[in-house]
A and B are shown apart, each in its own frame.
Chain A
Amino acid sequence: MDKSKAEISIEALRVGDRREFARLVDAYSGPLYRLALKMLGNATDAEDALQNTFLKAFQHVDQFEGRSSLSTWLYRIASNEALMQLRKRRPETTFSDISVEDDEEQNYDPVQLTDWPSLPEEELLSAEARTMLDHAIEHLPEKLRIVFVLRDIEDLSIQETSQVLGLSETAVKTRLLRARLRLREELSSYYGDRLIKRSKK
């Protein structure tokens, strides 16, 4: 987030100051777009979600009570927009997806045990690897994905993430751990292959 522009006047927004709205859009559109893109996986949907986020923020700014920060409030609207779009995409499969996601018995035990962090940085963050990192996020169930994106991509604290999503801090921590463990599996599989290829060279 652009800190130099982050000092937005709530009072000005409440009285409909359009110049202040314009500053709000410039200050927050970058991180909110990134959130939508990571959640939705395509630019067109992310643009729609971003636009709807600001439209809703403008419409409901009088309801912003200041109990959370402006940033938390905007992240909440943006997260809801993204989750709503995801649900619209596949209403017929929502129930089964939720059943799977809510399965507390699902096994999160580590399986992949390749020791890949020794790979050189240019290989870990190559263009191909970055695409894999994005795809790995997209493979997460949405309930885990939103927590991971808010906490580890947008760098919100556990407390802020719990405020954005209306979840307890314990629930956020549980989902975060599951998201991280799942991503670790995917990354280990990809980088493990890179490690084997390097050893064959």
Chain B
Amino acid sequence: MSEPEQSQCKSLLIFLSDFVDGNLSEELCQEIECHTAECEHCRIVVDTLRKTITLYHECADEPAEISDELRSHLFKTLNLEDYMEK
């Protein structure tokens, strides 16, 4: 990787979160896309960053539930047992 490329890699780094979230201006998106088409290093960083976030999203998509045991304990501690629906 040449030095000018390296400095471009560094300057694009701060935009990566917004880029993978789709919150970046069209102009900056194009700039990143042009750069990653040429720079394998940054192409991998973008792909793996995106996949990192996707994997956590996929795990979080599973319903967040507490066990029946914890629920009973919680209602008891909060003195709400009389209002606990089955």
Give the number of residue pairs across the A-B interface with Cβ within 8 Å: 111
Q: Which residues of B contact A18 (CB under 8 A)?
A: 80, 82-83
Shortest distance in angstroms between A55's beta carbon and chain B's nearest beta carbon?
A: 7
B34: CB under 8 A from chain A?
no
The binding surface of chain B is classed by DSSP as helix
Q: B73: nearest residue on chain A (CB-CB)?
A: A47
Number of interface residues of A (CB under 8 A): 44
A51 vs B58: C-alpha distance in the bound complex, in angstroms?
Answer: 27
11 A-B pairs with C-beta separation under 8 A: A18-B83, A19-B83, A21-B80, A26-B71, A29-B66, A33-B70, A117-B47, A154-B60, A176-B17, A180-B49, A181-B13
- Closest residue of chain B to A130, judged by CB? B59
B13 touches A184 (CB 8 A): no
Report A-chain residues with C-beta under 8 Å of the C-beta of B49.
Answer: 180-181, 184
Say yes or no: B60 contacts A26, CB within 8 Å: no
Q: Which residues of A contact B48 (CB under 8 A)?
A: 112, 114-117, 184, 187-188
Find residues 112-169 in chain A having any chain B CB closer than 8 Å to their own CB. Answer: 112-117, 124-125, 130, 133, 152-155
The answer to whether A21 and B70 have CB atoms under 8 Å apart is no
Give the B interface residue count (CB, 8 A): 38
Determine whether A75 belongs to the interface, using a CB cutoff of 8 Å to chain B. Answer: no
Task: Assess the B64–A25 pair: CB atoms within 8 A.
Answer: no
Q: How far is the CB of A171 from chain B (nearest CB, A)?
A: 13
Is A54 part of the binding interface, using a Cβ–Cβ cutoff of 8 Å?
yes
Q: How far is the CA of A54 from the CA of B73 in the complex (A)?
A: 13
Q: Which residue of A lies closest to B6 (CB)?
A: A109
B16, B45, B52, B57: residue with the most chain A Cβ atoms closer than 10 Å = B52
Given contacts A19-B83, A117-B47, contact A25 B52 (CB under 8 A): no
Which residues, 1 to 34 on A, are CB-close (under 8 Å) to B? Answer: 1, 18-19, 21-22, 25-26, 29-31, 33-34
